[in-house]
Amino acid sequence: MNGQTMITAALIAGALVLFGGLYGVCYAMGRLHRRRAWLVAGQACYGVLLTVACALVSFTPLAPVWKAFIVVSCLGYFIVPPLTWRLLHATHEEGP
Amino acid sequence: MYQSQRLALKYFAAAIGVFGLMVIAGLMSATYYVDPTFLFGTLPFNIAKILHINGLIVWLLLGFIGAIYWFLPEELGCETVGIRVAEIAFYVLVAAVVVVFAVFIFVQHGGSNAFALWFINQGRKYVEAPRWAAIGVVATLLVFVYNVIGTAIRARKTTGVLTVLMINLVPLVGFYLIAFPVITDMSTDLYWWWWLVHMWVEATWEVLIGCIMALSLMQLLGTSRRIVEMWLYIEVMLVLGTGILGLGHHYFWIGTPSYWLSVGGFFSALEPLPLLGMVVHAVYDAGTHHMKTSNRPAFYWMMAEAFGNFVGGGMWGFMMTLPQINLFSHGTQWTASHGHFAFWGAYACGVLSVIYLALQKARSLTVADGIAWKWSFTLLNVGMIGMVGSLLIAGIAQSFYERAIGGSTFDAFVAAQGNPWFVQGMITRLGFGVVFALGYVTLVYDLVTLGRRKSVTAGAAEAA
C-alpha cells in the first residue's frame, strides 16, 4: 500500500461507516414517523454503502481477508437497525 | 437532598474546574504548533500536553464518581455509607490534583531517580502523576468502592444497574494498579500499559458510563427499570465483546506477535456496529418523547453522546484501524483527531448531561432550559468538530508525507511538520480551539446561573 491508496482506503472506510449510520438514522426516522420517504432515503444510503464497499474491495490494496470482512460487515450494517428497532419496540410498552 | 448528593455537586464543580484547566492546556498545546517559540524556556510543550491529557482523565473520572454519588442514595433509598470518609477523600483528591499540576508546571522534571518517580513525574503517558499521588488515586477509588458496596449491604438490596456497577469497580481499580510496576523492557511495558489505558477507556469506563446513562434515562425520560437494565446488559455484552480484544489495535507496532494484527483489526472493525444500535436507540427515544423533556440540555447532551460516540469512536476509528492503514496513521495527528472525537462523544457529553440533570434537582427547577446552554452546546460541538476535522487533515498529511513518502525518517518528520497541509491544519485547529474555549466559558456561565436567571424562571413558571 502506498500513500495515495492509504488515503483512498481510509476515506472510503470512513464513508462506509458514515453511510451505515445514515442508513440507521433514516430507517429509524422512517419507522418512527411511518414515512416511506425516510425508508427510501435509508435504502438509498444503504445502496451507497454497498457501492462504497465495492469500491473498497475493487480499488484498494487491502489484504483479501479484510476485503472479505468488509463484505460480511455490510450484512451487519444492514441487520443492526431493524434488529435494534424490533427489540426496542418489543421492550418499550408505550411505543413511538 | 442526601449528603451524598451534596458531595456529588462538589465533584461536579471540581470536574468542571479541571475541564477548564484541560481546555487552557489544550489551547497552549495547539499554540506551540503554530508558534514554536511560544513560552520558550518557560513551559515546554510536553508539560502542556501532560496537563491536557491528565486533565482529561481527571475531569471525566471526577464526573463519573460524582454521578454515582448522585444516583446511589436514590437508587437504594438510603444515605451513602461512609459519607464522611468520602468527603475527606474528595478533598484529598482535589488537593492532590492541585499539587500534582503545580509540580508539573513549576518543577516540570527531575532526574532519572526514585525521587522524581515518587514526587515529580512517574513518566508514563496518561498516568504521569508521581507515585504518591497515584497511591492517593487508589485510596480514593477504594473509598468509592467501599461507599458503593457498603451502601448496598446496608440497604440489603441491589439493582441490576448497581450490580453491574459493583462488578465493574473491581477492574476499574485493578487496572489502575498497572500504573505502578517499573518495567525496563519497552515492549513489555507498553504491553501492560495498554491494559491500563485501553481497558479503562474501552471497557470499564464504557460500562461505567453505561450504568450512569441507565440511571439518567430513568430520571430524564422516565424509562422503566426493566427496559433500562435489559439494554444495559446488551450494551455491556456488545461493548465488552468488541472492546476487550479491540485492545489488539494498540499491539500492532510495539513488538508483540503478528497475530495481534488480525485480532486487533477484526475486533476494532466490529466496534461501530453496537454504536450503530445506540444511534437507532437515540432516535427512538427522541421520537417517543417528541424531543420534549423538562431538562432539554441534559437530553441534548445525551443525544450528542450517542451520535458523537458513533462518529468519533466508530467512523473515525474505522478509518484508521485496519493494520495496513494504521501502519501509516498511528501516532500522528490523525490519532489525536480520533482521540478527541471519541472521548468527547463517548464520555464528555454524558458527564455534562448528568451534571444538568443533577442541577435541575438540586435547584428544584421544574424546567431546566434557557438560551445559554444552546450557545454552549453549539460552540462546544462546533469547536470540537472543527478541531477534529483540522487534526484529521493535518494527520493525513503527516501520514502521507512523513510515513508513506518519507519512510518515517527524522528528516521526513521535520519536512512533514512544515508541509502547508499540516501547518494550515494546525492553525485551523487553534482557531476552533478558541471556539471550543468560548463554549466552555458559556457552559460555566450556564451551570452557575441555571435557575437563577429571569428567562429560566419564567420558563419554569410557564411550564408549571
Best mutation target, A17, A32, A52, to test chain B (most B CBs within 10 A): A17
Q: Residues B231, B236, B238, B242: what is their CA dihedral angle, to the nearest 10 degrees?
A: 160
- A3·B400 Cβ contact <8 A: yes
Tell me the nearest-neighbour CA distance from A22 into chain B, angstroms: 9
Across the interface, of A10, A24, A65, the residue whose CB is closest to B319 is A10
Across the interface, of B234, B279, B399, the residue whose CB is closest to A24 is B279
Q: What is the pLDDT of residue A9?
A: 96
Q: How confident is the model at residue B244 (pLDDT cuts 50, 70, 90)?
A: confident
pLDDT exceeds 50 at position B341: yes
Q: Which chain A residues are within 8 Å of B398, Cβ to Cβ? A: none
Burial class (CB in 10 A: 0-12, 13-18, 19+), A34: exposed
Mean pLDDT of the B176-203 span: 90
Tell me the nearest-neighbour CA distance from B223 into chain A, angstroms: 9
Q: Which chain B residues are within 8 Å of A32, Cβ to Cβ? A: 283-284, 287
- B227·A91 Cβ contact <8 A: yes
CA B306/CA B383 separation, integer angstroms: 18
pLDDT exceeds 80 at position B170: yes
CA B183/CA B185 separation, integer angstroms: 6
Residues in chain A: 96
pLDDT tens digits, A61-92:
999 999 999 999 999 999 999 999 998 888 87
Rg (CA), chain A: 16
Residue of A nearest to B235 (CA): A84
> Could you count the other beta carbons within 10 Å of the beta carbon of residue B421?
16
Q: How confident is the model at residue B455 (pLDDT cuts 50, 70, 90)?
A: low
CA B403/CA B262 separation, integer angstroms: 22
Mean pLDDT of the B198-212 span: 91
Q: Which chain A residues are within 8 Å of B396, Cβ to Cβ? A: 7, 10
Which residues, including other chains, have CB under 8 Å from residue B102's CB and lie 6 or more apart?
none
Q: What is the pLDDT of residue A42?
A: 96
Kindly state the cell numbers that stand for B43: 513551559
pLDDT exceeds 70 at position B463: no
Across the interface, of A2, A16, A25, the residue whose CB is closest to B279 is A25
Mean pLDDT of the B386-401 span: 97
Q: Which of residues 13-32 of A touch B (CB under 8 A)?
A: 13-14, 16-18, 20-21, 24-25, 27-29, 32
A and B: number of Cβ contacts within 8 A:
123
Q: How confident is the model at residue B464 (pLDDT cuts 50, 70, 90)?
A: very low
CA B141/CA B93 separation, integer angstroms: 10
CA B301/CA B308 separation, integer angstroms: 10
- B315·A62 Cβ contact <8 A: no
Instruction: Kindly state whether A10 is in contact with chain B, defined as any CB-CB distance less than 8 angstroms.
Output: yes
Q: How far is CA B100 from CA B23, B49, B52, in A?
A: 17, 14, 13
Instruction: Kindly state whether A69 is in contact with chain B, defined as any CB-CB distance less than 8 angstroms.
Output: yes
Burial class (CB in 10 A: 0-12, 13-18, 19+), A94: exposed
Q: Which residues of B touch A (CB under 8 A)?
A: 224, 226-227, 230-231, 234, 262, 265-266, 269-270, 272-273, 276-277, 279-281, 283-284, 287-288, 310-311, 314-316, 318-320, 322, 324-325, 327-329, 396, 399-401, 403-405
Tell me the nearest-neighbour CA distance from A6 into chain B, angstroms: 6
User: b/e per residue, B370-401, with b = 16+ CB within 10 A?
Assistant: bebbebbbebbbebbbbbbbbbbbbbbbbbbb
Instruction: Kindly state whether A35 is in contact with chain B, defined as any CB-CB distance less than 8 angstroms.
Output: no
- A62·B322 Cβ contact <8 A: yes
Across the interface, of A25, A61, A91, the residue whose CB is closest to B283 is A25
pLDDT exceeds 80 at position B290: no
Instruction: Kindly state whether A63 is in contact with chain B, defined as any CB-CB distance less than 8 angstroms.
Output: yes
Q: What is the pLDDT of residue B454?
A: 63
Across the interface, of A7, A21, A29, the residue whose CB is closest to B276 is A21
- B276·A28 Cβ contact <8 A: no
CA A14/CA A20 separation, integer angstroms: 10
pLDDT exceeds 70 at position A2: yes
Tell me the nearest-neighbour CA distance from B338 into chain A, angstroms: 12
Q: What is the pLDDT of residue B293?
A: 85
pLDDT tens digits, B25-56:
999 999 999 999 999 999 999 999 999 999 99
Tell me the nearest-neighbour CA distance from A52 into chain B, angstroms: 13
Half-sphere exposure for A9 (CA within 13 Å, toward CB): 27
Q: Which chain A residues are within 8 Å of B342, Cβ to Cβ? A: none
pLDDT exceeds 90 at position B58: yes
Q: How far is CA A2 from CA A8, B59, B125, B405, B416, in A?
A: 10, 40, 31, 8, 16
Mean pLDDT of the B87-104 span: 96
Mean pLDDT estimate for chain B: 92
- B273·A29 Cβ contact <8 A: no
* A20 contacts A14 by C-beta, under 8 angstroms: no
- A28·B287 Cβ contact <8 A: yes
Instruction: Kindly state whether A57 is in contact with chain B, defined as any CB-CB distance less than 8 angstroms.
Output: no
Tell me the nearest-neighbour CA distance from B292 into chain A, angstroms: 13
pLDDT exceeds 80 at position B458: no
Across the interface, of B284, B327, B396, the residue whose CB is closest to A88 is B284
